Structure 1
Amino acid sequence: MSNGKENRNKWLHVRLSLEEYNQLQGNYAKTTCRKLSEYSRKILLGKPVRILYRNQSLDDFMAEMIQLRKELNLIGNNFNQAVKKLNSLSKITEYRDWLISFEVEKKLLFGKVDQIKNRINQLSDQWLL
């Protein structure tokens, strides 16, 4: 009837100072362990602990990409506001011709902005997992 998983029914109580506890929490946060008890058990029993490694240059890159995504959204919002304003002036024939060519350029710009935003999202999802 054993499923290979041993029930843990023994308790070990450990008292720590605030400084020791904070150090333990800090070290635990850098690992792949899901629970503090799992981390503590591995340390106490001398088992290997996997440490997460973060590449600072990639973190910096991601921060820049996130900022770029925000700026692209702001540019898109400003662009839409300008188009709405121009559409209100469509009574003049010169503006109508300009608006037609402008719509083509707008679609190209928004397509490229969407491609950039999607790539930033893919990179951030990939890195932040």
Structure 2
Amino acid sequence: METENNNRKKRIYVRLTDKEFTTLENHLKNTTCNKLSDYVRRCLFDKPITTITRDAATDDLIVKMSQMNFELNAIGSNFNQLVKRINASFQDTRFSETLGLITMQRDAITRKMEEVKNELQKLAEKWLR
């Protein structure tokens, strides 16, 4: 144990109020540590510390996903306007079949847009924690 203390050459200084120091001493009394420095070291190094690092690649991904989300909304809006215009202009039976297929495609696009929006929202919430 003596050689371990010889390796400790660095010091840190912390100022405490009287109340904080009394609390620290009271906590020390409830432990098996003989010295205040041993107790402080255990407090500093035995508890896990959560660190958050930001990954630039993930930041870029979020920006790209946001842009794609905007573009998908614009495409869906334009498609919906086109279908409404076609529906209002023509009442031909053959055209109605084609319109039905277009409507099915619109619904598929809308579902995919919602899926992308939901995943983007989950990713953003996770990343912004």
- TM over 0.5, shorter chain: yes
Deviation at 1:122, TM superposition (A): 0.8
For residue 82 of structure 2, what is the aligned residue in structure 1?
A: 82
Structure showing greater radius of gyration is: 2
1:126 and 2:126 equivalent?
A: yes
For residue 62 of structure 2, what is the aligned residue in structure 1?
A: 62
Give the TM-score normalised by structure 1.
Answer: 0.57
Structure number with the bigger relative contact order (C-alpha 8 A, sep ≥ 6) is 2
Deviating more after overlay: 108-117 vs 49-58: 49-58
Identity in percent: 29
Kept in 2: contact 1:76–1:110 (CA 8 A): yes
Deviation at 1:51, TM superposition (A): 6.0
For residue 32 of structure 1, what is the aligned residue in structure 2?
A: none
Deviating more after overlay: 89-98 vs 50-59: 50-59
Kept in 1: contact 2:66–2:120 (CA 8 A): yes
Q: How many residues align?
A: 86
**Structure 1: 5+ residue runs without aligned partners?**
1-5, 9-46
Please list, as runs of the form range in 1=range in 2, the aligned pairs for 1:87-102 lying within 5 A after superposition: 87-102=87-102
Structure number with the higher helix fraction is 2
Q: Give, as a single letter, the amino acid of the residue that structure 2 aligns with 1:108.
A: A
Deviation at 1:90, TM superposition (A): 3.0
